[in-house]
Amino acid sequence: MTNIILCGGSGTRLWPISRTLMPKQFVKMFEDKSLFQLTVERNSKNCTSQFIVSNAEQYFLALDQLEELNKINNTYLLEPIGRNTAPAIALACLELDYEEIVLVTPSDHLIKDEKEYKKVLEKAKEFASENKLVTFGITPTFAETGFGYIEASSYDVKAFHEKPDLETATKYLEDGNFYWNSGMFCFKAGVFLDELKKHAIEVYETSVKAFENASKDEMIRIKHEDMLAIPEDSIDYAVMEKSNIVKVIPSNIAWSDVGSFDSLYEELPKDENGNTKNEKHVSIDSKNNLIYGKERCIATVDIEDTIIVDTGDALLISKKGSSQKVKQVVNQIRKTTELHNIHLTGYRPWGSYTVLEEAEGYKIKRIEVKPGKRLSLQKHYHRNEHWIVVSGTATVTVGDKKSYVRPNESTYIKMGELHRLENEGKIPVVLIEAQVGEYTGEDDIVRVDDDFKRS
């Protein structure tokens, strides 16, 4: 069985922890592991291989985190833009044998009862072997209005229902035959493609064309214009709600989509006062709070039932029970800032950078380049750069001149000059970069050559 892991989504309801370029599935919130890593570990016990579907930015995050787990032999499919789950799953299934059973999972769910999970998967494989499409219905524990529901009779699906209001959700809970729609699926790759062709022919045909035109070297890369031609559709709308071969497996597996700070609070360890454990938190008569922050001291006095999230460049304060409104905050800030997009620390395939200070006309960064990696050969139109090496030895190319810059040495790159930074050593290169110019945005980069095939 192959585990298709869908890495799309930006997790806006967990802002400011989750950003577009560091979405919630890659944030290490659970004993220094991410939801993505926990997904890989959990499903590698039940599947023989992993198939990662992501965009280019998330690919490098996934690659790094898989290397940490020593799981390096995986298949990757890169989407230039997202077109929802139906095309993503179809493109992956086109790479697999018709009879291969696949387990499709999001990368950002938490499942704590792995013993029960294994039993559920075994039942799903039975149905999949009989050419059924299987979905997993989570046994509801309260009247949730943020999930879709599956109405069932035993293993047979009677209907799919959109997110209900509270009164309807309460009736679903009392009925006992309604389940939360988990977004997890199991079926033969070929059977799914057959049903997609039957019920969403345009999605099927454009996905086949995109797959046939894709480059397939180290990974499968879909072309932008081919991806754009695929209709945007979810697997539920395209197939599951129309097919007559769907089965649902009731699943009581201690599942959470960690889709809000209220749900995150339920999953994190707490102290004797019900506050989430945090070494940076000083509590005076404060109870039942979610406190998240790794940099500054967070002191609370007589605070109860509150969410406080500090990420260095943004501070969120909310009442518990209102955290679904965080998405509205993101919609507001994206109009004027980049705070929805990236943290102070940004991760790249060659390493990372952290913005130390920024003001009009200049920006100061700490840059770390991993051993054996190098940045693209590039130039900037709006800024000059000064580099001061703190540790390691940097190989610096400016124009046609190559030099080595050691600790406490510096170099200068003029605006418009072609340059490259490389680490040929065995330890990370750390340097301080001072950018000076009329514009210091991350998009002022013209790449001439890049090891990671970025544009």
pLDDT tens per residue, range 352-391 = 999 999 999 999 999 999 999 999 999 999 999 999 999 9
> Mean pLDDT, to the nearest integer, of 169-180?
93
Cα–Cα distance, 71 to 66 (Å, whole number): 5
pLDDT > 80? residue 454? no
**Domain check: are 313 and 235 in the same one?**
no
265 domain-assigned:
yes
**Domain check: are 158 and 272 in the same one?**
no
Name which of 55-64, 265-274, 397-406, 426-435 the model is least confident about: 55-64
Q: Taking a C-beta distance cutoff of 8 angstroms, is the pair 34, 61 a contact?
A: no
Q: Which two three-digit tokens encode residue 24?
A: 């919630």
pLDDT of residue 57: 76
**Domain check: are 165 and 267 in the same one?**
no
Q: Beginning with the edge strand found earlier in the chain, give each strand of the sheet holding 290-292 in spatial order.
A: 290-292, 306-310, 315-319
pLDDT > 90? residue 338? no
Quick: pLDDT tens for 412-452: 999 999 999 999 999 999 999 999 999 998 889 999 999 88
pLDDT of residue 455: 72
**Domain check: are 392 and 304 in the same one?**
no
pLDDT of residue 434: 96
Number of domains in the chain: 3
> Mean pLDDT, to the nearest integer, of 330-351?
90
**Domain check: are 251 and 274 in the same one?**
no
The mean of the pLDDT values for the chain is: 94
pLDDT of residue 58: 86
Measured CA distances, 122 to 97, 134, 183, 251, 268 (Å) = 20, 12, 18, 12, 29
**Domain check: are 324 and 384 in the same one?**
no
455 domain-assigned:
no
CATH number at 364 reads 2.60.120.10
pLDDT of residue 431: 96
pLDDT of residue 10: 76
**Domain check: are 376 and 421 in the same one?**
yes
Quick: pLDDT tens for 8-62: 877 889 999 999 889 999 999 998 999 999 999 999 999 999 999 998 778 889 9
106 domain-assigned:
yes
339 domain-assigned:
no
337 domain-assigned:
no
In percent, the amount of the chain with pLDDT more than 90 equals 85
pTM of the complete model: 0.89
Domain-terminating residue out of 220, 255, 290 = 255
338 domain-assigned:
no
pLDDT band of residue 218 (cuts 50, 70, 90) is confident
**Domain check: are 70 and 193 in the same one?**
yes
CATH number at 107 reads 3.90.550.10
**Domain check: are 221 and 236 in the same one?**
yes
Question: Taking the alpha carbons of 210, 213, 217, 221 in that order, is the dihedral positive or negative?
Answer: negative
Cα–Cα distance, 21 to 333 (Å, whole number): 16
Neighbours of 401 (CB within 10 A): 8
Alpha-carbon dihedral angle through residues 285, 290, 292, 298, given to the nearest 10 degrees:
-20
**Domain check: are 306 and 351 in the same one?**
no
311 domain-assigned:
yes
Domain-terminating residue out of 308, 331, 354 = 331
336 domain-assigned:
no
Which one is predicted more confidently, 342 or 116? Answer: 116
Name which of 54-63, 203-212, 245-254, 390-399 the model is least confident about: 54-63
pLDDT > 90? residue 125? yes
pLDDT of residue 254: 95
Residue 298: domain span: 261-331
**Domain check: are 250 and 384 in the same one?**
no
Question: φ and ψ at 226, to 5 degrees?
Answer: -70, -40
The label of the residue with tokens 């799903």 reads 124
